[in-house]
Amino acid sequence: MKRVYVNEEWCLGCHLCEYNCAFANSGLSDMVLALKGKPIFPRIHIESGDKISYAVSCRHCEDPLCVKSCIAGALSKDCGVIKIDRNKCVGCFTCVLVCPFGALTPSESGIMQKCELCLQNACGEPACVKGCPNRAIVYEERGVAE
């Protein structure tokens, strides 16, 4: 299955992926209207440490602990993609407690949100990948981990 991967040596830490993500999931067609002057709630986050930075979004785990732990039955796996039914989520944060990557975060309303690879929004392909100026974020097949 194709997933979003980040080559951390190429990531500039510019945070553009966060803006592109928030815009792609805003449902609006004007980026200025969608983002200007507002706090943003992206589903991808830059992590930065000493001399490194890289973007983190849902890994769409083979064995997703978030899905098995969700007390509301709101998370599910559909053709490899981990999806959230935000209508069912009650914002208990159990998924935050179990995700090893910190990939689920609360939205503005307190209901959880996560990367669904932009398959559900107007972008149709991961907006973070499309807009990465240094091509540090890629969308590709890498097979099974070592």
Partner 1 sequence: MKEYLIIGNGTAACGCIEGIRSVDSSGRITVVSAEEHEVYCRPLISYYLEGKTDLSRMQYRGDDFYEKNNCSVLFGRRAVELLPDKKQIVLDNGDTLPYSELCLATGSSPFVPPFEGLETVEKKFPFMTLDDALSLEQAISKDSRVLIIGAGLIGLKCAEGISERVASVTVCDLADRVLSSILDSECASMMQHHLEKHGISFRLSDSAAKFEKNRAFMKSGAVVEFDVLVLAVGVRANVSLIKEIGGKVNRGVAVDSAMKTSVPHIFAAGDCAEVYDISAGMSRVLAILPNAYIGGYTAGANMAGGKAVFDNAIPMNSIGFYGLHAMTAGSYEGELYEEKTENSIKRLFVKDDLIKGFILIGCDERAGIYTSMIRNKTPVSSVDFEALKKAATTTAFSPDLRRKMFGGVV
Q: For residues 23 and 114, which CB has a smaller minimum distance to partner 1 in the complex?
A: 114
Q: Rounded to an integer, what is the distance from CA 110 to the centroid of its chain? A: 16
Least distance (Å) between residue 58 CB and partner 1: 11
Q: Which residues bind partner 1 (CB under 8 A)?
A: 1, 3, 5-6, 8, 47-50, 52, 54, 56, 59, 61-62, 65, 68-69, 71-73, 87-88, 90-102, 110, 142-146
Q: For residues 26 and 94, which CB has a smaller minimum distance to partner 1 in the complex?
A: 94
Least distance (Å) between residue 25 CB and partner 1: 20
Least distance (Å) between residue 13 CB and partner 1: 11
Least distance (Å) between residue 27 CB and partner 1: 22
Q: Is 71 exposed, middle or buried (0-12, 13-18, 19+ CB in 10 A)?
A: exposed
Least distance (Å) between residue 78 CB and partner 1: 11
Q: For residues 23 and 75, which CB has a smaller minimum distance to partner 1 in the complex?
A: 75
Q: For residues 37 and 49, which CB has a smaller minimum distance to partner 1 in the complex?
A: 49
Say if residues 82 and 61 touch (Cβ distance below 8 Å): yes
In sequence order, the β-bridge partners of residue 56 are 45
Measured torsion, CA atoms of residues 95, 101, 102, 104, in degrees rounded to the nearest 10: -50
Q: For residues 31 and 92, which CB has a smaller minimum distance to partner 1 in the complex?
A: 92
In sequence order, the β-bridge partners of residue 4 are 139
Residues in the chain: 146
Give the single-character DSSP code of 51. S
Say if residues 58 and 101 touch (Cβ distance below 8 Å): yes
